[in-house]
Structure 1
């Protein structure tokens, strides 16, 4: 009788969640436990912008301290890939630029907002045999991590309407052959959804 009650309770509770919700919950728990890639986004404002807004994306020329050297303009490229799915009018700078240059280019393009981002920190750990051959340091084996800083600026007033800090780290099951720049696509797409007021999907 007791097992029948437990079976009925579990069937009732399983009817409350869809399979995709259970899969997303499992992915979140595994990333939080360190098995999969994990990111944490901290925004200063919970502002939303219109879906028809024209967003110009640029990356600063700042190179993060340390031995990691992410490819130039990688944050702008990944942000563009994440934003283009949700905003029909998106453009990005072809190369890293200073803030003033990016602002003038965004205004010349007629953009409503400038999304200015940079890699603030990157730690590229040993994740494959080639990297081990190059470095041969046991303390360098492990999970990659990185920090991205984002500013969302209104081009007409040059008013800073939002800033965000995205901290990401690799997972035990996904660290092979990864670089810090491989960890930023998902959180940047989540940031784009957050600007529209959409939850994680």
Structure 2
């Protein structure tokens, strides 16, 4: 608890020092500190390159058949669905596969759709902790209490050449304020929005 209040105090102190900061900037700084101390959902993305795309790039989004390691059973195409929702705000020419596909199948469908790139993803690991009274009654395991977490792996491939443009690893972790009735897949939208922003060279 002391760490939480220290983080909040630091956030307020930074805001006060900013003096001329806009209200929106102050709010974002406060949110960032709340994420750092574990109260809000948190994500970290590691990219292999700084490659940027044009806004009119046609992107085909697909997810592999891989079942994530860990204590979770997300629905089969949830990563592709989350990526599509996160990307469509920034890339008008984005499409997604209706179901999980192998890489060669995904490339073929992307080529048939006239896409320039394929964003191929998989849920590498996911840990769905106890977050409701019903789950507690079913499992009765104190070591399963806590926040959800997961890891998603991405490959961005240029369809025409087969060139691997970028790879990324996104780690997500839930927050104490959003612990009730959430699943690891509920944490994916924001990191995909941020990844789309970075591909465009925007801050995110």
Match of 1:186 in 2: 190
Question: Is there any run of 5+ residues in structure 2 with no aligned partner, and where?
Answer: 1-14
- 1:20 has 2:29 as partner: no
Partner of residue 177 from structure 1, selected from 174, 178, 181: 181
TM-score, reference length from structure 1: 0.92
1:63-88 Cα deviation digits (max 9, x unpaired): 01233101110010010001100001
Between the aligned partners of 1:170 and 1:12, the Cα distance in structure 2 is 30
Q: Deviations over 1:2-23 (max 9, x none)?
A: xxxxxxxx988422x1111111
Tell me how many residue pairs correspond in the alignment.
190
* Alignment RMSD: 1.2
The aligned counterpart of 1:4 is none
Unaligned runs of 5+ in 1: 1-9
Q: Equivalents in 1 of 2:78, 2:19: separation in Å?
A: 41
- Indicate yes or no: 2:72 matched with 1:68: yes
CA distance in 2, matches of 1:188, 1:175: 21
Does 1:122 pair with 2:150? Answer: no
**Correspondence 1:116-155 to 2 at 5 A:** 116-155=120-159
Specify the SS of the correspondent of 1:62. coil
Question: Computing the radius of gyration over CA atoms, which structure comes out larger, 1 or 2?
Answer: 1
Q: Aligned partners of 2:59, 2:114: CA distance in 1, in Å?
A: 9
C-alpha distance after superposition, 1:1-45 (max 9, x if no partner): xxxxxxxxx988422x11111111111110011110000000000
- Aligned pair 1:35/2:16, yes or no? no
Label 1:62 to 1:26 Cα distance change in 2 as closer, same or farther (>3 A): same
How far apart are the structure 2 equivalents of 1:134 and 1:117?
32
